[in-house]
C-alpha cells in the first residue's frame, strides 16, 4: 500500500467513525429478540478499506479489487469502488472531498436521501466534517429477519454480509425490512410491513396437479405456445381418459410403445416417482385412498452429455405480481444422472440413476462425482454446459431464448390463481407486506434442443454444502463451491433488487425495451465470472436479468386468464375469500348481462351447482365451499362457447371477456368490490372452526385459513408430510 493509499484509508476510517455517530441517531434501538446469537449480523460499519475479513473472504473467492462493475480499473487513487459508485447516480448531486488527494467525487441521491446505484453498499449518507467537507454518514442498514430461513441460512448469511446489511437471526420485535422464509408465506405470522420472500399460495399452486391444471388451461387457449409441457393426466380423476387415450393410440399404431412417468402430487426429490408402459401398471391407491398424482408422457429422447441424461435448474425471481416482474438468473445448475442413458424399455424402467436426474437420488450412486470444478462432476454450472454445447456448434442463443419464453409462459399460467391467494391474504387497502419469491425451474433439453418444463419448485434448495462421507460411515456437510457460486449470487442479487432504498435505481437500471428474447445476452462458462464483491465492498453486476416486462410485447397476449381472474376477484367481494357464492355468481351474470330468455337465472343456478359440485369432488381437500377460480374458468368457457358458437375457443373467451369488461367499466377500488358483493355461502371452515377457535380476530376467511393451517384444519390442503416434501433440502 502506498502512503497516499494509507492516507486515504485513514481519512475514510475517520469518516466512518464520524458516520457511525451520526448513524446512531437514525438507527432503531437494537431490538433483536433476546439471546442473540454470536454469529449474528455482520458489522455493517466494518471499515470501508480493504482490510479484515471481507478482504480475505473475497480473496478466497478470487476477486479483484479496485474495479468498477464493468471490470475497468479505476483511475488514480484506490478509492473504495463502492464509494465512487455511490456518487455516480442521477437526481440530486452530492460531493465527497477526499482530503490529501484533491479529489472531489460527485454523486446524486434520491430526494429521500437514499443513494441510487446498484453496486454500492448503501450504508453511508452524507454528513459534514469540521472543515466543511462532505463525508459519508452511515445509514440505517437494511434489516433482514432470518429466523425462519432454514436451509437457505448459510447462503443468506453470506449475502447479507456482502451487502453489509443487518441480520436478525432470532427475529426482531420491531419490523424488519425483509423476512426470509424457508417454506411458505405463513412461516412468520402477522407481518404487516416490509417484504416477505414467499407469495401466499405459491406452495399450493406449484404442486404437480395444480401446475398441470394451470398449464392445461393455457394449452387449451394457446396450444402452439404451451407445447413445452409434456402431455399430462391428473389422477385419479382422469384415469379413464388416460387409459382410453393410450389404448386407442396403441391400437391405431401397434409399433407405438410410449412410456409414462408417474409423479405423486406434492412430492419432490424424485420421491415416489416411477415409470410405466401401460395404464394397468398404475398404482392407484394408497391404502384405501386414491392416490393423487400426475401421469405424464416420458421424454425418451433427452439431450445427453457424456452419455448421461441431465436437467437444468434455473432460478427465477418473481419480483412482483402487480405489475408482473420476472427475473431469470443468468447462471444455473445442471444435475446429471449417474448411469449412462438408454431409451426406456421394460428391463430398465426401474433404473432411477439412468432416468431421474434428481441430485438427492444420484448422490447415493457410487458413480456420483463431487467436483469443485464447475464443468465436471455430477453437478455443474449451466454456463459450463452451454459452453460445451456452443463448442459443438449448438445455437445456444436460440436455446436460451426458448428457455426464457418457457419461463415467462409458465409464470403467466400460474399468476391468475396466485392473485386470488394474494388478495385473500393481503387484501388491498389493509396493512401487509409485499412479496417476492425465488422459484426453481426444472427444465429438460430434448435431443432436438427443445426445452421441456418438468416442474417448478416453490422452495428450491438453497443449500451451499453437501453431505459427504468423510470417513467410512461418517457423514459431514462440506462446502459445495458450485452451489455456493450460483446460489449466493441468486440470493444476494435478489436482495439487491428488493432493497427498499434502491427500488427506483434497480428498476431504472433494467432495460425497458420490449424486443425479442432472441437477442438476450447469455452467460457461457461461469469459470470466468467474478461473482463476489471485491475487497472494497464493490459488488459484481446483477446475475438476475429482467425478462418481464422487458418482453411484454411478445407475451402480453397470453395474459387472458388473468383478466378472467380479475373479474372473479371483483365479484368475490368480501376481502379474504377465495370462492364465489351462488349469489355473487348470479350478480356476475346480471351485471355483465349474460342471461336472457334462452339462458334464464334458473339455468345460471343449475350451472353454478353443477360445476361447483364437480370441482369440490376434484378438490376434496378444499377449505372453503363455493366456486373457486378453476370452476369459474370452466363456467366462463361454457358461457363463452354458448354465446359465440361459431368462434374458436380462444376467440370465444376473448369476446366474452370484452363483453363483460365493457359492462363493468374500469376496475373499481376495494370499496366498490365490496358493494358488488352479495351474501355468500358460509365458508365451510367456519362451521368447524367454531369448535376450536374463539379468537374474534379470526373472523376473516384469510385469518381462518391461516389458523386452519396451524392446528385445527378439518380438511388439510397441505398435509404436513407433503409440505415438508415440497422443500428441497
Contacts of 308 (CB under 8 A, 6+ apart): 336, 337, 338, 339, 340, 341
| Of residues 12 and 454, the one with the C-beta less far from ligand ADP | 454
Query: Which one of 3-11, 51-59, 124-132, 293-301 is the stretch in contact with ligand ADP (CB under 6 A)?
Result: 293-301
**CA 649, CA 641: separation in Å to the nearest integer?**
7
Q: Which of 58, 147, 212, 269 binds ligand ADP (CB under 6 A)?
A: 269
SS3 321: coil
| Of residues 444 and 589, the one with the C-beta less far from ligand ADP | 444
Phi, psi of 527 (to 5 degrees): -50, -30
| Of residues 360 and 688, the one with the C-beta less far from ligand ADP | 360
How far is Cα of residue 32 from the mean position of the Cα atoms in its chain?
A: 28
Residue 178 in the binding site for ligand ADP (CB under 6 A) = no
Nearest Cα neighbor of 526 from 554, 556, 490, 497 is: 490
Query: Which one of 356-364, 559-567, 599-607, 653-661 is the stretch in contact with ligand ADP (CB under 6 A)?
Result: 356-364
Q: What DSSP state is assigned to residue 726?
A: T
CB of 455 to ligand ADP, least distance (A): 4
| Of residues 83 and 454, the one with the C-beta less far from ligand ADP | 454
Which residue do the cell numbers 400460474 mark? 414
Residues 419-478 that bind ligand ADP (CB under 6 A): 442, 444, 454-455
Q: What is the distance between the terminal CA atoms of the chain, rounded to a whole angstrom? A: 45
Which residue do the cell numbers 401487509 mark? 432
Q: Which of 358, 383, 423, 616 binds ligand ADP (CB under 6 A)?
A: 358
Residue 353 in the binding site for ligand ADP (CB under 6 A) = no
**CA 411, CA 321: separation in Å to the nearest integer?**
10
SS3 30: coil
3-state secondary structure 493-504: HHHHHHCCCCHH
| Of residues 463 and 586, the one with the C-beta less far from ligand ADP | 463
CB of 358 to ligand ADP, least distance (A): 5
Contacts of 141 (CB under 8 A, 6+ apart): 44, 123, 164, 165, 166
CB 483 within 8 A of CB 468: no
Mask 558-597, x = binds ligand ADP (CB under 6 A)?
Answer: ----------------------------------------
Query: Which one of 39-47, 261-269, 472-480, 571-579 is the stretch in contact with ligand ADP (CB under 6 A)?
Result: 261-269
Q: Which of 168, 185, 298, 421 binds ligand ADP (CB under 6 A)?
A: 298
C-alpha cell of residue 289:
385412498
| Of residues 453 and 490, the one with the C-beta less far from ligand ADP | 453
Q: What DSSP state is assigned to residue 468?
A: E
Q: Which of 8, 83, 273, 611 binds ligand ADP (CB under 6 A)?
A: 273
Residue 357 in the binding site for ligand ADP (CB under 6 A) = yes
Which residue do the cell numbers 411478445 mark? 554
Query: Which one of 9-17, 40-48, 262-270, 394-402 is the stretch in contact with ligand ADP (CB under 6 A)?
Result: 262-270
Query: Which one of 165-173, 354-362, 690-698, 707-715 is the stretch in contact with ligand ADP (CB under 6 A)?
Result: 354-362
Q: Which of 107, 136, 169, 230 binds ligand ADP (CB under 6 A)?
A: 230
CB of 229 to ligand ADP, least distance (A): 9
| Of residues 230 and 427, the one with the C-beta less far from ligand ADP | 230
Residues 125-164 that bind ligand ADP (CB under 6 A): none
Query: Which one of 129-137, 314-322, 353-361, 493-501 is the stretch in contact with ligand ADP (CB under 6 A)?
Result: 353-361
Q: How many CB atoms lie within 10 A of CB 105?
A: 19
Q: Before 549, cis peptide (omega within 30)?
A: yes
| Of residues 219 and 269, the one with the C-beta less far from ligand ADP | 269
**Ramachandran assignment for 665, one of left (phi > 0), alpha (psi -120 to 50 degrees), beta (any other):** left
Residue 206 in the binding site for ligand ADP (CB under 6 A) = no
Residue 354 in the binding site for ligand ADP (CB under 6 A) = no
Q: Before 323, cis peptide (omega within 30)?
A: yes
Query: Which one of 142-150, 270-278, 368-376, 481-489 is the stretch in contact with ligand ADP (CB under 6 A)?
Result: 270-278
Query: Which one of 15-23, 119-127, 291-299, 609-617 is the stretch in contact with ligand ADP (CB under 6 A)?
Result: 291-299
What Rg value do the Cα atoms of the chain yield, rounded?
A: 28
Contacts of 36 (CB under 8 A, 6+ apart): 169, 170
Half-sphere exposure of 554 (CA within 13 A, CB side): 20
| Of residues 69 and 296, the one with the C-beta less far from ligand ADP | 296
Which residue do the cell numbers 373479474 mark? 567
CB of 726 to ligand ADP, least distance (A): 9
Q: Any bridge partners for residue 312, and if so which?
A: 334, 443
**Ramachandran assignment for 422, one of left (phi > 0), alpha (psi -120 to 50 degrees), beta (any other):** alpha
Residue 19 in the binding site for ligand ADP (CB under 6 A) = no
How far is Cα of residue 42 from the mean position of the Cα atoms in its chain?
A: 26
**Ramachandran assignment for 307, one of left (phi > 0), alpha (psi -120 to 50 degrees), beta (any other):** left
Q: Which of 12, 209, 356, 543 binds ligand ADP (CB under 6 A)?
A: 356
CB 437 within 8 A of CB 317: yes
Residue 299 in the binding site for ligand ADP (CB under 6 A) = yes
Residues composing the chain: 729
Residue 265 in the binding site for ligand ADP (CB under 6 A) = no
Residue 495 in the binding site for ligand ADP (CB under 6 A) = no
Number of residues counted as binding ligand ADP (CB under 6 A): 20
CB of 560 to ligand ADP, least distance (A): 26
Q: How many CB atoms lie within 10 A of CB 625?
A: 18
Residues 619-678 that bind ligand ADP (CB under 6 A): none
Residues 231-260 that bind ligand ADP (CB under 6 A): none
Residues that bind ligand ADP (CB under 6 A): 230, 261, 263, 267-271, 273, 296, 298-299, 311, 356-358, 442, 444, 454-455
Amino acid at each position: 500500500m502506498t502512503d497516499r493509499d494509507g492516507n486515504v484509508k485513514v481519512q475514510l476510517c475517520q469518516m466512518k467513525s464520524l458516520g457511525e455517530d451520526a448513524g446512531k441517531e437514525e438507527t432503531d434501538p437494537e431490538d433483536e429478540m433476546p439471546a442473540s446469537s454470536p454469529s449474528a449480523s455482520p458489522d455493517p460499519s466494518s471499515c470501508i478499506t480493504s482490510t479484515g475479513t471481507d478482504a480475505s473472504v473475497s480473496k478466497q473467492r478470487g476477486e479483484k479489487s479496485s474495479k468498477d462493475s464493468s471490470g475497468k480499473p479505476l483511475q488514480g487513487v484506490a478509492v473504495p469502488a463502492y464509494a465512487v459508485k455511490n456518487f455516480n447516480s442521477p437526481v440530486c448531486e452530492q460531493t465527497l472531498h477526499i482530503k490529501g488527494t484533491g479529489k472531489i467525487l460527485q454523486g446524486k441521491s434520491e430526494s429521500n436521501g437514499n443513494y441510487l446505484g446498484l453496486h454500492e453498499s448503501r450504508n453511508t449518507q452524507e454528513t459534514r466534517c469540521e472543515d466543511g467537507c462532505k463525508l459519508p454518514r452511515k445509514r440505517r442498514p437494511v434489516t433482514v429477519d432470518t429466523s425462519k430461513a432454514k436451509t437457505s441460512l448459510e447462503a443468506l448469511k453470506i449475502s447479507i454480509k456482502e451487502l453489509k446489511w443487518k441480520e436478525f437471526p432470532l427475529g426482531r420485535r420491531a419490523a424488519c425490512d425483509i423476512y426470509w422464509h424457508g417454506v411458505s408465506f405463513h412461516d412468520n405470522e402477522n407481518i404487516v410491513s416490509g417484504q416477505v420472500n414467499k407469495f401466499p399460495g405459491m406452495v399450493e399452486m406449484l404442486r404437480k396437479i395444480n401446475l398441470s391444471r394451470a398449464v392445461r388451461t393455457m394449452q387449451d387457449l394457446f396450444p402452439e405456445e404451451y407445447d413445452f409441457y409434456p402431455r399430462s393426466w391428473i389422477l385419479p380423476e382422469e384415469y379413464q381418459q388416460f387409459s382410453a387415450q393410450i389404448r386407442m393410440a396403441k391400437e391405431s399404431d401397434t409399433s407405438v410403445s410410449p412410456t409414462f412417468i408417474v409423479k405423486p402430487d406434492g412430492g419432490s426429490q424424485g420421491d415416489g416417482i416411477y415409470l410405466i408402459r401401460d395404464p394397468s401398471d398404475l398404482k392407484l391407491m394408497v391404502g384405501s385412498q386414491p392416490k393423487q398424482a400426475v401421469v405424464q408422457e416420458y421424454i425418451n429422447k433427452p439431450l445427453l452429455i457424456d452419455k448421461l441424461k441431465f436437467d437444468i435448474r434455473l432460478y427465477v425471481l418473481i419480483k412482483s405480481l402487480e405489475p408482473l416482474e420476472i427475473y431469470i438468473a443468468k447462471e444455473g445448475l445442471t444435475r446429471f444422472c449417474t448411469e449412462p442413458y438408454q431409451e426406456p424399455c421394460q428391463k430398465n424402467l426401474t433404473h432411477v440413476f439412468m432416468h431421474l436426474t434428481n441430485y438427492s437420488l444420484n448422490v447415493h450412486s457410487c458413480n456420483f462425482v463431487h467436483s469443485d470444478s464447475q464443468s465436471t462432476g455430477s453437478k455443474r454450472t449451466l454456463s459450463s454446459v452451454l459452453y460445451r454445447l456452443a463448442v459443438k456448434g449448438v445455437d445456444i442463443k436460440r436455446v436460451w431464448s426458448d428457455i426464457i419464453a418457457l419461463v415467462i409462459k409458465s409464470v403467466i399460467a400460474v399468476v391468475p390463481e396466485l392473485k386470488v391467494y394474494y388478495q385473500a391474504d393481503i387484501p388491498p387497502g389493509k396493512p401487509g407486506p409485499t412479496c417476492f419469491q425465488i422459484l426453481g425451474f426444472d427444465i429438460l433439453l430434448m435431443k432436438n434442443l427443445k426445452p421441456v418444463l418438468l416442474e417448478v419448485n416453490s422452495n428450491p434448495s438453497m443449500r451451499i454444502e453437501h453431505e459427504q462421507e468423510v470417513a467410512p460411515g461418517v457423514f459431514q456437510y462440506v462446502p459445495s463451491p458450485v452451489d455456493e457460486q450460483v446460489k449466493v449470487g441468486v440470493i444476494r442479487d435478489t436482495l439487491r433488487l428488493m432493497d427498499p432504498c434502491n427500488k427506483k435505481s434497480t428498476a431504472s437500471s433494467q432495460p425497458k425495451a420490449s424486443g425479442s428474447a432472441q437477442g438476450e445476452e447469455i452467460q457461457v462458462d461461469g469459470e470466468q465470472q467474478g461473482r463476489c464483491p471485491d475487497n472494497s465492498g464493490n459488488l459484481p453486476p446483477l446475475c438476475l436479468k429482467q425478462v418481464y416486462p422487458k418482453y411484454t410485447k411478445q407475451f402480453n397476449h397470453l395474459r387472458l386468464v388473468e383478466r378472467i381472474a380479475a373479474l372473479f376477484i371483483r365479484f368475490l367481494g368480501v376481502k379474504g375469500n377465495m370462492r364465489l357464492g351462488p349469489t355473487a355468481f348470479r350478480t356476475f351474470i346480471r351485471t355483465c348481462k349474460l342471461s336472457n330468455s334462452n339462458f334464464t337465472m334458473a339455468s345460471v343456478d343449475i350451472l353454478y351447482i353443477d360445476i361447483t359440485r364437480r370441482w369440490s369432488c376434484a378438490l376434496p381437500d378444499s377449505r372453503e365451499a363455493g366456486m373457486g377460480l378453476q370452476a369459474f374458468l370452466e363456467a366462463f368457457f361454457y358461457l363463452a362457447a354458448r354465446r359465440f358458437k361459431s368462434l374458436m375457443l380462444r376467440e370465444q373467451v376473448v369476446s366474452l371477456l370484452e363483453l363483460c369488461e365493457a359492462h363493468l367499466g374500469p376496475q373499481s377500488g376495494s370499496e366498490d368490490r365490496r358493494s358488488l358483493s352479495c351474501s355468500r355461502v358460509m365458508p365451510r371452515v367456519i362451521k368447524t372452526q367454531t369448535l376450536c377457535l374463539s379468537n374474534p380476530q379470526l373472523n376473516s376467511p384469510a385469518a381462518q385459513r391461516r389458523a386452519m393451517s396451524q392446528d385445527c384444519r378439518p380438511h388439510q390442503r397441505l398435509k404436513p408430510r407433503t409440505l415438508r416434501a415440497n422443500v428441497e433440502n
